[in-house]
Structure 1
């Protein structure tokens, strides 16, 4: 049975082409990490190779812009390693699992600060400030 699977993977009409392309992309990814400056290499990755054009995904527009400026250098470096490379296409593509915004650290109020804010809120007339203080106090009491 394993021989049949390997035979299927190696045939042109089987998954052999996909497997060969995947191996090439792994090799390209290694080369790219050697070629690209470390700060750009960490914020981008090789995504594909289409008709001699290396497709790179960048995590932000700033990284993509820098990589587009480096495109001729990248093409030369890939070509020197034996790849038939005619160009580099850079796309902005956020990596999976990356959070859009950093969640703020929740810091509970001390009991004294809580009491002082409660007294202040009770002394205020109905207003947006009083509502904000009451919301703050309600949230801080849930955290404790």
Structure 2
């Protein structure tokens, strides 16, 4: 069974093109991780290779900007390493990792802080600051 699956994956009429493309992407990704600084490598990845253009997804605009500045170096290195590459395209593609998509925990105000803010709010005349303090006290989770 595994022989027939391997034969199918490698056959041109089967999934051979897909498998070859996947292997190419793995090789490109390995070279990419060697080239870029580690902090940029952690915030980006090789997404595709089409029409001799390497497509890189960056997790935010700052990383994308830095990678665009590095595009000539990336292109030269990919070409030097034997890839037929005529360009590098960088796109911002936010990741949905649990770490980055976490909702920050709401920290409750202590009883003392709540009392001090309430006293400050009461001592202020009607103003945007007083309204903001009252809204803060209303919305905040109070520590029991």
Q: Hey, what does 1:18 align to over in structure 2?
A: 18
Distance 1:59 1:53 in 2: 19
| Alignment size in residue pairs | 141
Structure 1, 52-61 or 62-71: larger mean CA deviation: 62-71
1:84-123 alignment runs, 5 A limit: 84-97=84-97, 98-99=100-101, 103=104, 105-115=105-115
Aligned to 1:82: 82
Unaligned regions of 5+ residues in structure 1, if any? none
Deviation for aligned residue 1:65: 1.9
8 Å CA contact 1:121, 1:134 repeated in 2 = no
The 2-side partners of 1:123 and 1:2 are apart by: 79
- What SS is found at the alignment partner of 1:95? coil
Q: Is the 8 A contact 2:114 2:137 kept in 1?
A: no
What secondary structure, in the 3-state scheme, does the structure 1 residue paired with 2:96 have?
coil
Q: Give per-residue Cα distances to partners, 1:92-130, cap 9 Å, x unaligned.
A: 11112232x862x53333334445556677888998737
Task: Assess, with a 3 A threshold, how the Cα gap between structure 1 residues 82 and 110 changes in structure 2: closer, same or farther.
Answer: same
- Report the TM-score when normalising by structure 2: 0.76
Q: CA RMSD in A?
A: 2.9
Corresponding residue for residue 134 of structure 2: 133
Note the 1:9-48 alignment, pairs <5 A.
Answer: 9-48=9-48
Q: Render the CA deviation track for 1:64-101: whole Å, top value 9, x for unaligned.
A: 222222211111101111111111111111112232x8
Distance 1:22 1:10 in 2: 12
Relative distance call for 1:133 and 1:19 in structure 2 (3 A) is same
Distance 2:83 2:127 in 1: 68
Q: Which structure 2 segments of 5+ residues have no match? A: none
Assess, with a 3 A threshold, how the Cα gap between structure 1 residues 93 and 138 changes in structure 2: closer, same or farther: closer
